[in-house]
Amino acid sequence: MNYTNLFKIALKALAHNKMRAFLTMLGIIIGVASVITMIALGQGTQKSIQKEISSMGSNIIMIHPGGERRGGVRLDPSEMQTLKIQNFEALKKECMYVAAISPYATASGQLVCGNNNYPTSVTGAGIDYIEIRQLTIEDGTMFTESDIKTSAKVCVIGKTIVDNLFPDGSDPIGSTIRYNQVPLKVIGVLESKGYNSMGMDQDDIVLAPYTTVMKRMLAVTHFNGIFASALSEDVTEYATDEIRTILRREHRLKDSDPDDFMIRTQQELSDMMNTTMNLLTTLLACIAGISLLVGGIGIMNIMYVSVTERTKEIGLRMSVGARGIDILVQFLIEAVLISVTGGIIGILLGCSACLAVKYLANWPVYIQIWSVILSFAVCTVTGIFFGWYPARKAANLDPIDALRYE
């Protein structure tokens, strides 16, 4: 049979029944668009929740010198001098699951600026420290790698320090504050983070290059600890294992020796994160599944009904010489045209709905390629199948019965 003719027949049949074709298409359009939009919204929500929890530091890994026993007496870990610059450099170079890593040394004392003074502690840190602790520079700059190399006398301070040392509201940037005998030039101010869940003031902070704190203030060669952040919550455990292996090697520990350091993670936070993410992923899968199911059933119904109501037309076509196969091919072409067109419109509609939500409502929206492909595939295949299935039945009908069908 001449397929060009059948294609023309199918096109004409569609053109003469624009409303029916459109309604059928609508089922597919809505199916595809709703799946894409729901998944994109869900994914956006998931990502923003993930970000919120991450900002609480759920992927932070803290390494402290471990308590060592000497003659049955456990020593204060802070007295231990096991974490050295070489350890830090080895970790920095070798760890694959670690996104940022910074040494940590702290000195407590009185800060003085002009007439004002305030008791606090100066944290010696690397450049990654603000990334690990999710701090943001509000004003000025962070110190640089070369500041660390030269043990520069610079610092970045938190809001509480600004309020106490500069009560008159003058710009702290550029002024010099003194810690014991060491003058520190303020080069940056941190954005306020408020109190944390333990009631600690997170703005009561002074950051200086760790070399400055170690050499100029404490005159030591070891760190109080090392802070690191894992690439993401779910690899925190791998990162921990990696750090343990590297540190044990660096510290030349035998297999039988216990660790001479401690690694702590925000287990509770990251557990919460994982539970929440699992819940959200399940929710998303459910939404996608239900949307597809509903869309599929809609398509199925309208396809089935539209073929059934055309039984008489099928009878007529057969009486003027259409063979079963001609009828089947015609309906299949119609179903493919409707499904594919509907699917494409659905994708466009879904994507524009996502963008509209993103820019008008300012919601986080992430369009997922897999959801586009999945919804298109499911809806078009359903459309084609339920166009083909009743058409096959119709094609096998006796023309006499089809003509008499009311």
Partner 1 sequence: MSNKVIELQNIRRDFTVGDETVHALRGVSFDITEGEFVTIMGTSGSGKSTLLNILGCLDTPTSGEYLLDGIPVRSMSKSQRAILRNRKIGFVFQNYNLLAKTTATENVELPLMYNPDISSSERRKRAEEALDAVGLGDRKEHKSNQMSGGQMQRVAIARALVNNPAVILADEATGNLDTRTSYEILMLFQELHRKGRTIIFVTHNPEIANYSSRNIRLRDGHIIEDSVNTNVLSAEETYRTLPKDIDD
The footprint of partner 1 (CB under 8 A) covers 1-2, 5, 8-9, 12, 16-17, 312-313, 315-326, 398-400, 403
The residue type of 225 is G
| 8/74 with CB nearer partner 1 | 8
User: 212, 242, 245: which is closest to 228 by C-alpha?
Assistant: 242
**Least distance to partner 1 from the beta carbon of 333, Å?**
13
Distance CA 228, CA 259 (A): 18
**Cα–Cα dist 358/365, whole Å:** 6
For partner 1, the closer CB: 21 or 213: 21
Say if CB 195 and CB 202 are below 8 A apart. yes
Q: How many residues does the chain have?
A: 406
User: CB of residue 309 vs partner 1: minimum separation in angstroms?
Assistant: 11
Please, which residues have CB within 8 angstroms of residue 300's CB and are 6 or more apart in sequence?
382, 386
Helix H or strand E encompassing 234 = none
Burial of 277: CB neighbours in 10 Å, binned 0-12, 13-18, 19+: middle
Return the number of the residue (17 or 192) whose C-beta is nearest partner 1.
17
Residue 155 to residues 117, 145, 189, 212, 329, Cα–Cα distance (Å): 16, 13, 9, 10, 77
Write b or e for each residue in 279-290: b if 16 or more Cβ atoms lie within 10 A of its Cβ, otherwise e.
Answer: ebeeebeebbee
* Structural contact between residues 209 and 107, judged by C-beta atoms closer than 8 angstroms: no
C-beta of 304: minimal distance to partner 1 in Å?
20
- Tokens 């950051």 appear where? 207
Which of 12/264 has CB closer to partner 1?
12
Q: How far is the CB of 359 from partner 1 (least distance, A)?
A: 42
> Between residues 191 and 309, which has the closer beta carbon with respect to partner 1?
309
Least distance in Å: CB of 292 to partner 1?
A: 34
Q: Please, which residue, 11 or 56, has the CB nearer to partner 1?
A: 11
Give the residue among 265, 280, 198 at the shortest CA–CA distance from 233.
265
DSSP 200-218: -BTT--EEEEHHIIIIIII
Nearer to partner 1, 288 or 338 (CB): 338
CB of 9 to partner 1, least distance (A): 6
Kindly tell me which of 14 and 38 has the beta carbon lying closer to partner 1.
Answer: 14
The nearest distance, CB 331 to partner 1, in angstroms, is 15
| Shortest reach from residue 308's CB to partner 1, in Å | 16
